[in-house]
Amino acid sequence: MFFLLALHLAIGIGIVAGGRALGRQAFLVAAVAPLATVIWAATQAPSVLDGEPVTESFAWIPQLGIDIDLRLDAFALLMVAVISGIGLLICIYSLGYFSHLKPGLARLAGVLVLFAGSMLGVVLSDQLIALFIFWELTSVTSYLLIGNDDTNPRARAASMQAIFITGAGGLVLLAGLIIVGQAGGSYRISELLADPPSGGAVNVGIILILIGAFTKSAQAPFSSWLPAAMVAPTPVSAYLHSATMVKAGVYLVARLAPMFAMTGNWRLVVMVIGALTMSISGLRALRQHDLKLLLAYGTVSQLAFMMLLLGVGEYHIAEAGIVLILAHALFKAALFMVVGVIDHQTGTRDIRELHGFGSSWRLVQIVAIISAASMAGIPPLLGFIAKEKALDGYVEHGDFAGGTAVLVVIVLSSILTFAYSARFVLGVLGHFGESEHPVVSQAAHAPRAVFIGPAALLTGLTVLFGVAPFLLDDLVEGATRALYPGSEPKPLELFAGFNPALGLSVLIIVCGTLLTVFRGPAAEAQRRASEALRPVPSGEQGYLAVLKAISITATRVTATVQNGSLPIYIAIIMLTVSLIPAASLASEIGSLPQWVEEPVHIVLVAVIVAAAIGASVVHHRIAAALMLGAVGYAMAGLYVARGAPDLALTQFSIETLSTVLFVLVLRFLPRSWRHGAPAIAAPMRIAVAAAVGVAIFVFALSASNSRSSVDEPSMSEVMVEQALPKGKGHNVVNVILVDFRGWDTMGEITVLVVAAVGAVSLARPGRKRADDDEAPVFEEILDAGDEPAMPEALR
> Which residues of this chain interact with other proteins, rule CB under 8 A?
619, 622, 645-646, 649-650, 653-654, 656-657, 660-661, 664-672, 674, 727-731, 733-735, 737-739, 742-743, 745-746, 749-750, 752-753, 755-757, 759-760, 763-764, 766-767, 769, 778, 781-782, 784-785, 787, 790-791, 794-795
> In terms of CB distance, is 566 or 664 closer to other proteins?
664
Least Cβ distance, residue 771 to other proteins (angstroms): 12
Question: Which lies closer to other proteins via its Cβ, residue 546 or residue 660?
Answer: 660
CA 322 to CA 331: how far, in whole Å?
15
Find the shortest distance in angstroms from Cβ 337 to other proteins: 50
- Structural contact between residues 233 and 154, judged by C-beta atoms closer than 8 angstroms: no
382: closest CA among 282, 298, 470, 274?
A: 470
CB 776 to other proteins: min, Å: 10
CA-based torsion, 291, 320, 81, 371: positive or negative: negative
Q: Judged by CB, which is closer to other proteins: 487, or 731?
A: 731
Question: CA–CA separation, 183 vs 201, rounded Å?
Answer: 8
Contact yes or no for 486/398 (Cβ under 8 A): no
Minimum distance, C-beta of residue 689 to other proteins, in the bound complex (Å): 25
Given the complex with other proteins, which of 153 and 765 has the nearer CB atom?
765
> What is the smallest separation between the CB atom of 755 and other proteins, expressed in angstroms?
8
Residues 382 and 508: their CA atoms lie apart, in Å, by 16
Residue 418 CB coordination number (10 Å): 27
Q: Which is nearer to other proteins, 685 or 764 (CB)?
A: 764
Give the number of other Cβ atoms within 10 Å of residue 149's Cβ: 18
Question: Measuring CA to CA, which residue among 304, 238, 239 is closest to residue 275?
Answer: 304
Residue placing its CB nearer to other proteins in the complex, 55 or 650: 650
Closest CB to other proteins among 498 and 743?
Answer: 743
- Show the CA angle centred on residue 590, arms to residues 585 and 591, nearest 5°: 125
**Distance from CA of residue 742 to its chain's centroid?**
35
For other proteins, the closer of residues 39 and 763 by Cβ is 763
Nearest to 592, CA basis, from 667, 701, 751: 701
Residue 143: CA atoms inside 13 Å, Cβ hemisphere, count? Answer: 15
- The answer to whether 478 and 48 have CB atoms below 8 angstroms apart is yes
Peptide bond into 380 cis (omega under 30): yes
**Do 70 and 123 form a contact (C-beta atoms < 8 A)?**
no
Measured from the CB of residue 640, what is the shortest distance to other proteins in angstroms? 11
- Minimum Å distance from CB 768 to other proteins? 9
CB of residue 452 to other proteins, shortest distance in Å: 55
Q: Cα–chain-centroid distance for residue 795?
A: 49
Q: What secondary structure letter does DSSP report for 740?
A: I
Say how far apart CA 663 and CA 625 lie, in whole Å: 8
**In the bound complex, what is the minimum distance in angstroms from residue 766's beta carbon to other proteins?**
8
Q: Which is nearer to other proteins, 599 or 785 (CB)?
A: 785
- CB closer to other proteins out of 552 and 782: 782
In this structure, which amino acid lies at residue 521?
P
The smaller minimum CB distance to other proteins, of residues 550 and 757, is found at 757
- Whichever of 44 and 650 has its CB closer to other proteins, that residue is 650
Q: Cβ distance 173 to 211 under 8 Å? A: yes
Closest distance to other proteins from the beta carbon of 626 (Å): 14
**367 Cβ contact partners less than 8 Å away, ≥ 6 residues apart:** 334, 338, 452, 455, 456, 459
Q: What CA–CA distances, in Å, run from 430 to 423, 433, 434?
A: 10, 5, 9
Note if the bond before 221 is cis, omega within 30 degrees.
Answer: yes
Residue 59 host element (H or E) = strand 54-61
CB of 641: closest distance to other proteins in angstroms? 15
Minimum CB–partner distance for residue 785 and other proteins (Å): 5
Least CB distance to other proteins at residue 168 (A) = 35
CA distance linking residue 703 with residue 683, whole number of Å: 30
Smallest gap, in angstroms, from Cβ of residue 635 to other proteins? 15
Yes or no: say if 12 and 114 are a contact pair by the CB < 8 Å rule: yes
Question: What b/e sequence results for 759-792 when a residue is b if at least 16 CB atoms lie within 10 Å of its CB, and e otherwise?
Answer: eeeeeeeeebeeeeeeebeeebeeeeeeeebeee
Instruction: State how far the Cα of 100 lies from the Cα of 102, in Å rounded to an integer.
Output: 6
Asked if residues 145 and 240 have their Cβ atoms less than 8 Å apart, the reply is yes
Contact 350, 288 (CB under 8 A): no
Contact criterion met (CB below 8 Å) for 508 and 390: no
Nearer to other proteins, 593 or 742 (CB): 742
Three-state secondary structure readout of 403-447: HHHHHHHHHHHHHHHHHHHHHHHHHHCCCCCCCCCCCCCCCCCCC
Q: Closest distance between other proteins and the C-beta of residue 623, in Å? A: 12
Nearer to other proteins, 114 or 627 (CB): 627
Q: What are the φ and ψ backbone dihedral angles of 774, each rounded to 5 degrees? A: -85, 145
By C-beta, is 534 or 674 nearer to other proteins?
674
Nearest distance, CB of residue 757 and other proteins, angstroms: 7
Looking at the Cβ atoms of 431 and 667, the one nearer to other proteins is 667
- Taking alpha carbons only, the member of 360, 366, 326, 343 closest to residue 460 is 366
Q: For other proteins, which is the closer residue by CB, 426 or 644?
A: 644
Q: How far is the CB of 678 from other proteins (least distance, A)?
A: 16
Decide: 377 and 509 in contact? Cβ < 8 Å. yes
